[in-house]
Chains A and B, each alone.
Chain A
Amino acid sequence: MPRVSLTSKEAAAFLPEVNRRIDHGRAIAARAVRPGLREVMWDHPRLSLASAFTAILLIIGLTLSQMQMWGLSGTTGRNGVEILSVDVEEDASVMVFQAPGTSIKVIWVFEDTST
């Protein structure tokens, strides 16, 4: 066995360095192991499928809301027009009608021709 000789300075630094490395190893061992995203997904296939399904639903919902498709079966009629109110002045007359076979509602104003 070869003899090793240390200077007093090296001998003084030897033990603290050993302790520092031991403490460093403990700190690494104590650190929690974080699972990777891929590992989480493969370990939870139902969660992954549910996530994908939810994402698809959100995309469809966003698209439909931007296209304003939610109100297709709303209160307006088949032609998409509803006359909510018609206020007429004293000397005016109005007729609201929709011709058979057409999809357009008409508000017809009869002007007072007496003046």
Chain B
Amino acid sequence: MRSSHAFLGRVLVLCYLVASFLSSVVTLPGSAWGQTVSLQAQVIYAANQEGGVDSRLGSLAENLKKTFRYSMYELLDAPKGSVALNQMWRTALPDNRWLEITPTTITDGQYSLTVRVLLSDGKAPVNTVVRLRRGSTVLVGGPSHQKGVLIIAISAS
């Protein structure tokens, strides 16, 4: 009787060990397996003219005001999309420009993204790779637009 209990106990312990191992293998890097990356871009027009700060920018507005010296920030567009790893997400920017983002890896909740801003002639003056933590934002700015510039806030989740 005692030996059968001991055997059952060993089997249970073994099952837990196997389950623990499998769960750690499957769940920790699992976020990168076949998952899509949700991308969000906020296309902001910044200029020194009247207009103030667009209330739709939310918490980003404070960071913009601290970082730049423009008097007006207007949210032009806020495209969103979901793509699989190594698939390109493309969205139109003003003045026949394009924003291309390709998520390449997800490691420990951090997203590596290749970001390109294409000009109207198809040239990409800058090709950058950034690593973003979930919910963090990186700004790509500088392309001229009307009397000011475009600032693109990019985040991934």
At the interface with chain B, which of A1-9, A13-21, A23-31, A83-91? A83-91
Whole-angstrom distance between the Cβ of A101 and the nearest chain B Cβ? 6
For the complex, give the distance between the alpha carbons of A108 and B13 in Å: 57
A54: nearest chain-B partner, CB-CB: B16
Q: Are B126 and A86 in contact (CB under 8 A)?
A: yes
Q: Are A54 and B142 in contact (CB under 8 A)?
A: no
Whole-angstrom distance between the Cβ of B41 and the nearest chain A Cβ? 13
Q: Are A104 and B67 in contact (CB under 8 A)?
A: yes
B137 at the interface (CB under 8 A from A): yes
Q: Which residues of A contact B138 (CB under 8 A)?
A: 81, 83, 104-107
B2: nearest chain-A partner, CB-CB: A43
Q: Report the interface size for chain B: residues with CB under 8 A from the other chain.
A: 50
Interface residues on A, range: 35 or more
Q: Are B63 and A102 in contact (CB under 8 A)?
A: yes
A89: nearest chain-B partner, CB-CB: B125
Whole-angstrom distance between the Cβ of B105 and the nearest chain A Cβ? 11
B86 at the interface (CB under 8 A from A): no
B123 at the interface (CB under 8 A from A): yes
For the complex, give the distance between the alpha carbons of A99 and B144 in Å: 21
B76 at the interface (CB under 8 A from A): no
For the complex, give the distance between the alpha carbons of A109 and B130 in Å: 15
Whole-angstrom distance between the Cβ of A97 and the nearest chain B Cβ? 8
What are some 9 contacts across the A-B interface (CB < 8 A)? A33-B1, A68-B108, A70-B109, A71-B133, A74-B107, A80-B133, A81-B133, A85-B129, A87-B128
Residues of A near any B CB (own CB < 8 A):
32-33, 35, 40, 43-44, 47, 50-51, 54, 57-58, 61-62, 65-66, 68-72, 74-76, 79-89, 91-92, 94, 99, 101-113
